[in-house]
Amino acid sequence: MIVPKCTLNYELDSFPRNEFSNRLVDWYLRNRRPMNWHGANAYSVWVSETMLQQTQAATVTDFYNRFMASFPTVECLATASEDSVLAHWSGLGYYARARNLHLAAKMVVAQYGGTIPNTIDELVKLPGIGRYTAGAILSIAFHQPVPLVDANVARVFSRMFMLDEPPNSARGTNVLWAIASLLVPMYQPGLFNQGLMELGATVCTPAEPACGRCPAAGYCKAFETADPTRWPLKPARKKVVQETHCSVVVHHSRGGVYLVKRPSRGLWGGLWEFPRVVCNGEETPCDAAERAAKQILGLNVIDVRLFAVVKHSVTRYSITLHGCTARAHQDPRESEGIHLVSVEDLKDYPLAAPQVQLRDAIIHSGKRNFELALNL
């Protein structure tokens, strides 16, 4: 295999691939963390690896257990409602993953009779499945010698070979996939790939790698340097965008508060939320709350009061979300995407993480206390 042009500190053709593979698999079998999805079928590998994208395993475990308890098969997932799927994903973030997983499950049932494809060409046709997820499914569930590269694998290879490109650059990405393709063994490819990911997650960590107990130390060029953490090379950092948002919790005189459903695409797509706007200039949270009620619900509200402030970071945005309460006596504009929901039923709606904090502030205060705060 020809590796794209990039400085490597090994001639890959002479790299002891079998020796490295055997040592890594042996280390992995002795040191892997007890995860429910180890040795699982293609569906559970697909679900777990989708959840693990941009999310740590410790965070995923409880979500995975609840998700699989409710949707134990691809058929169960395909027939579920989007709201139900998103509710099980609520708090995990990056909700496009859930929508794609749901849509892909429908396609697997409709086009493949509920059998998950076992070729890379068919897998990558499914929404949300790229080279990494396809590599995980094929190597772990179907035992095919297919490579994968995630952030952990990229860090391991960047240090082993002291790559002179950031992993997320076009050239760096090509080099990493070429290395992964060359090193993945015919025998036990799933254990090898899981070993690479586990090595990056538990030993070859970003800030304080435990080089003294690393099974790859004898093959790692960065280990021979004074500071292995110089690799991977860092790309230029994107500027963090600061934004102030405001959500208004509008209580109707008949009882209940209003939730609105977001468009299926974009940030927090397909989730529900208390009507929210981005604050303009010197606009106060209460002014923004009135605007949110008017623009989104078509309501004029009274008794607007601030009750919570939430800090949240997502992608390159740092968001300060103000939560305000208000009252309304008339009905909002007609829309399938607007629901009047009792305080007790708020927990049944899938909300983004900052909206969950507003919801919990309401629920934990108790319905009666919340209504008293509104002077009802």
Q: Which domains does the chain have, with CATH numbers?
A: 12-230 (1.10.340.30), 241-373 (3.90.79.10)
Q: Is the pLDDT of residue 3 over 70?
A: no
Per-residue pLDDT averaged across 141-153, rounded? 97
pLDDT band for position 40 (50/70/90)? confident
Structure tokens at 254: 């008949």
Listed ranges 210-224, 264-278, 340-354; the one with the highest mean pLDDT: 210-224
Q: Is the pLDDT of residue 237 over 60?
A: yes
pTM of the model: 0.82
Other C-beta atoms lying within 10 Å of the C-beta of residue 99? 20
- How far is it, in rounded angstroms, from Cα 351 to Cα 83? 10
Which residues have CB under 8 Å from 44's CB, separation 6+? Answer: 36, 37, 68
- How far is it, in rounded angstroms, from Cα 17 to Cα 21? 6
pLDDT at 138: 97
Output the average pLDDT for the chain. Answer: 91
CA angle at 138 for the pair 137 and 143, rounded to the nearest 5°? 120
Place of tokens 């960047």: 158
- How far is it, in rounded angstroms, from Cα 154 to Cα 102? 28
pLDDT at 112: 97
Per-residue pLDDT averaged across 266-292, rounded? 93
Place of tokens 């409880």: 62
- Which residues are identified as catalytic? 49
Per-residue pLDDT averaged across 283-311, rounded? 95
- How far is it, in rounded angstroms, from Cα 21 to Cα 194? 11
pLDDT band for position 253 (50/70/90)? confident
pLDDT band for position 372 (50/70/90)? very low
- % residues pLDDT > 90 (the chain): 78
Give burial (CB, 10 Å; 0-12/13-18/19+) of 366: exposed
- How far is it, in rounded angstroms, from Cα 296 to Cα 370? 23
pLDDT at 8: 64
Per-residue pLDDT averaged across 146-155, rounded? 97
Structure tokens at 50: 């989708």
Q: Minimum mean pLDDT among 108-117, 175-184, 323-332, 358-367: which range?
A: 358-367
Q: Minimum mean pLDDT among 18-32, 37-51, 60-74, 120-134: which range?
A: 37-51
pLDDT at 289: 97
pLDDT at 374: 47
Q: Which residue has the higher pLDDT, 122 or 364?
A: 122
Q: Is the pLDDT of residue 273 over 50?
A: yes
